[in-house]
Amino acid sequence: MGGIWHAGAAPAADDEGNVFFATGNGGFDANVGGADYGDSVLKIAPPVRHQHPVLDYFTPHDEQFLDDQDLDLGSGGPMLLPTQSPHAPHRNLLTLGGKGGVVYLIDRDNMGHFNPDNDDQIVETLPASISLTGGNATWWNNTLYFIPVFDTLKALHFDPKTGLISPTPDSQTITFFNYPTAFLSASSSGRKDGILWALQNDGYPRGSAILRAFDTRNLAHELYNTTENVGRDDPGPAGKWTVPTIVNGKVYFTTHKKLVVYGLLPQ
């Protein structure tokens, strides 16, 4: 138990080579000297004599409830925020959300371990800020975009002065996303013309995937989706936990059967 899956998302790593990941349902006894870290976020050091020491961790106070109710914290992976100003309350942060629908903001230099009474030892906890989540959040211009399951996609603002995430979305999509998780990527021209790409795989395994493009400033404004011209743009049967990748003005992703590439139409 306590496996690492993140709904298909990768672990995260900092500039010092430390690796961060979250675990799913399983036993937890690290707070009493044990080796089990179920429903926790771990910070692992670079290898020492072929072993990776656990440098730090955070475990929610309701870990046993999460385990009992199959609400894996590790259905989502941690995302590291950019290093903040030297005057910021916390310079090095990470965030993640799990099946419990809670968004956690953690100081990755002091992750807080386990407090059986509450989660006040971490920077911020946002209960019920989003429905079930998986994968990794996406960052653009001090905004966090969280991956929904059975919910709309939401943009939550990060205030670099307070070092906190707003509990109220700046914007959200009209589109409702079901399961499997819709992975996100952002593209832009520097700090302008931001596009949030969402690959909707609700149709898995027989229905078609849908690639959607949203305005990063207002997620209610959908710029494009592949159902607008099905005959031309249908990518085929949806895959599961696949991430759109943007390079040189093209969007790449995999479906259940193939790799597909989208770009600008010829003029």
Model pTM score: 0.94
Residue of 239 and 130 predicted with greater confidence: 239
Least confident of 6-10, 41-45, 170-174, 215-219: 6-10
pLDDT for 21-37, tens place per residue? 999 999 999 999 999 99
pLDDT for 219-264, tens place per residue? 999 999 999 999 999 999 999 888 999 999 999 999 998 999 999 9
Q: Please report the pLDDT score of residue 8 as a whole number.
A: 81
Mean pLDDT, the chain, whole residue set:
93
Q: Please report the pLDDT score of residue 233 as a whole number.
A: 96
pLDDT for 132-150, tens place per residue? 777 789 999 999 998 878 8
> The tokens of 88 are what?
């910021």
For residue 29, the number of C-alpha atoms closer than 13 Å in the C-beta half-sphere is: 6
Calpha distance 158→110 (Å, rounded): 20
Q: Is the peptide bond before 86 cis (omega within 30 degrees of 0)?
A: no
Torsion angle (degrees, nearest 10) of CA 126, 17, 197, 168: 10
Q: Please report the pLDDT score of residue 22 as a whole number.
A: 97
Asked if residue 158 lies in contact with residue 143, where contact means CB atoms within 8 angstroms, the answer is yes
> The tokens of 54 are what?
């656990």
Q: Which helix (H) or strand (E) segment is 67 a member of?
A: helix 63-68
